Amino acid sequence: MQKGKNILVYYLFVLVSVLLIPANANETQEKTIVYQFSIDQEIMPAAWRTVQKAFKEANEKKADYILLILNTYGGQLDIADSIRTKFLKSTIPTFVFINNNAASAGALISIACDSIYMHPSATIGAATVVNQTGEQMPDKYQSYMRGIMRATAEAKNRDPKIAEAMVDDRVKITGIIDSGKVLTFTTSEAIKNNFCDAEVTSVDEALSHAGITNYNIAEYTPSSIDRLIQLLLNPALNGILLLIIIGGIYFELQSPGVGFPIIASAIAAILYFAPLYLEGLAANWEILVFILGVGLIIVELFVIPGFGIAGISGLILVFGGLMLSMIGNHYFDFTFTIPSNVTSALVRLSISIIALFVFPLIINQRSLSNLLFKRIALVETLSNTSQEKENMNHLVGKSGIAINDLRTSGMVKVDDQFYDAVTDGEYIEKEASVLVTGARNSTLIVSKG
């Protein structure tokens, strides 16, 4: 009887052990880490920075998979090439879930992933290189795009001919494309031709199809710095910063001295270049070109009287540095720089320069440097700057003193009264004697006395 009890206890022990072991195993089993991030914008420097940060965090978290949620109509070719290279060289398996569009650069990035999943309404393709107006770029751009599309497809065991047909409307593939138009796949077409692994409606469904069930998702979240950078890269705010940079330099040339305009210009330059540098668009040498230009202008202001070679060279370098930082060049190689990007940079600079001279005319038909700027910069606090509006020809022939440096305009003191004054292009130093040679409305025309 005792022996029977022992056998019963033994079998009960074995049964409990069998039931408990799988439960304990499941509890101790580590979950798969899926690192997820999104690109829901044009493929521009901001997207490239997001990819770099996402891959860095994925490696730090020892992620098992990287999942990209993609919706884009395309963007810059050089940026797209950098992103697709990042995916191709990834040691972590990569998935992409196209929840709407993967056009142009988006198609290239998708093909670089190990697995492609698409929403039922999604599309992939149309990778012809176009400019900002939608017109096809010259064949050298198309040839380059055809090459990297083929190479990417081959690397992921997809048909390179189909990838090329997404770029070139001359490529015809029996049963797939023969209409003389660039190829774009729907989800079902992409599945049929091995350019999509499955049709899914959510991330969970995509992971389930990939055989990943026990997982945690680590999601990329933009930091406060990232959001600030995006704000500073906004075209409207970027244009305002350009205006402040150029305006500060202009007003400093009008009335030299370290004051509000040059400080405002320096702060605007930092806010302008910092995000472009972090986005990988502004290179070190382009920022140095700008700094060198500012240095030459300072030399012209405080070392060399008048305005000559140093000042003109400085302005050229300042404008060159500002423009080059906005386009995707490699030093002075503009082979794959889209011409419309260069045009856009020139237009933005031109608008800033024109606005600098138009605004004073709109506000008042007098120089802004003689009104608003002098009050803000506190160049000279003058108690009796009000001037007679009547004809001032009675002052012609009289002598006075320059209150500040006259680089064609400034302020002078004649008969113990202060007047706005201009020269005929002559540079007159502060406190130098001046001779009134004429009058125009409320402004005196002077020369060295």
pLDDT at 163 over 80: yes
Q: What is the pLDDT of residue 335?
A: 61
pLDDT at 11 over 90: no
Percent share of the chain, pLDDT over 70? 76
Query: Which pair of tokens denotes residue 293?
Result: 């230009």
Average pLDDT of the chain to the nearest whole number? 80
Tell me the whole-structure pTM to 2 decimals. Answer: 0.63
64, 92 contact by CB (below 8 A): yes
Percent share of the chain, pLDDT over 90? 33
Q: What is the pLDDT of residue 397?
A: 87
Give, for 412, the enclosing helix (H) or strand (E): strand 406-414
List Cβ<8 Å contacts ≥24 apart for 410-414.
Answer: 410/254, 410/255, 411/370, 411/374, 411/380, 411/382, 411/385, 412/444, 412/446, 414/444
Q: What is the pLDDT of residue 99?
A: 95
pLDDT at 341 over 60: yes
How far is the first Cα of the chain from the last one, in angstroms, to the nearest whole number?
133
> Residue 395 — very low, low, confident or very high, per pLDDT cuts 50/70/90?
confident
Among 18-27, 156-165, 394-403, the range scoring the smallest mean pLDDT is 18-27
Among 20-29, 256-265, 332-341, 416-425, the range scoring the smallest mean pLDDT is 20-29
Of the candidates 54, 144, 45, which has an alpha carbon nearest to the alpha carbon of residue 90?
A: 54
Question: For tokens 């879930």, what's the residue?
Answer: 97
> For 69-81, what is the mean pLDDT?
90
Q: Which segments of 260-400 does DSSP mark as H helices, in order? A: 260-278, 284-302, 309-324, 339-363, 372-377
pLDDT tens, position by position, 350-389: 777 776 666 555 544 444 444 444 444 444 444 444 444 4
Among 138-147, 159-168, 197-206, 213-222, the range scoring the smallest mean pLDDT is 138-147
Best mean pLDDT range from 40-49, 184-193, 213-222, 340-349: 184-193
Q: What is the pLDDT of residue 198?
A: 96
Of the candidates 243, 237, 241, which has an alpha carbon nearest to the alpha carbon of residue 356?
A: 243
Greater confidence, 199 or 423?
A: 199
> Residue 24 — very low, low, confident or very high, per pLDDT cuts 50/70/90?
very low
Q: What is the pLDDT of residue 132?
A: 64
Of the candidates 95, 311, 304, which has an alpha carbon nearest to the alpha carbon of residue 211?
A: 95
Query: Which pair of tokens denotes residue 443?
Result: 């402004």
64, 95 contact by CB (below 8 A): no
> For 191-197, what is the mean pLDDT?
96
Greater confidence, 201 or 239?
A: 201
403, 387 contact by CB (below 8 A): no
Q: What is the pLDDT of residue 431?
A: 87
> CA 285: distance to chain centroid?
17
Q: What is the pLDDT of residue 334?
A: 63
Q: What is the pLDDT of residue 35?
A: 97
Q: How far apart are CA 69 and CA 125, in angstroms?
A: 16
Q: What is the pLDDT of residue 382?
A: 44
pLDDT tens, position by position, 208-220: 999 999 999 999 9
Phi-psi domain of 134 (left: phi exceeds 0; alpha: psi -120 through 50; beta: other): left
What is 31-221's CATH number, 3.90.226.10, 3.40.50.720, 3.30.2130.30, 3.40.50.300?
3.90.226.10
* Helix, strand, coil distribution of the chain in percent, nearest 5: 50, 20, 30
∠ CA 287-81-64 to the nearest 5 degrees?
110
pLDDT at 9 over 50: no
pLDDT at 162 over 80: yes
Q: What is the pLDDT of residue 153?
A: 96
Greater confidence, 280 or 106?
A: 106
Q: What is the pLDDT of residue 355?
A: 67
pLDDT tens, position by position, 411-443: 889 988 888 888 877 888 888 899 998 888 778
Q: What is the pLDDT of residue 27?
A: 42
Fold of 380-448: OB fold (Dihydrolipoamide Acetyltransferase, E2P) (2.40.50)
pLDDT at 255 over 60: yes
> Residue 90 — very low, low, confident or very high, per pLDDT cuts 50/70/90?
very high
Q: Which segments of 156-306 does DSSP mark as H helices, in order? A: 160-165, 187-192, 203-209, 224-232, 235-254, 260-278, 284-302
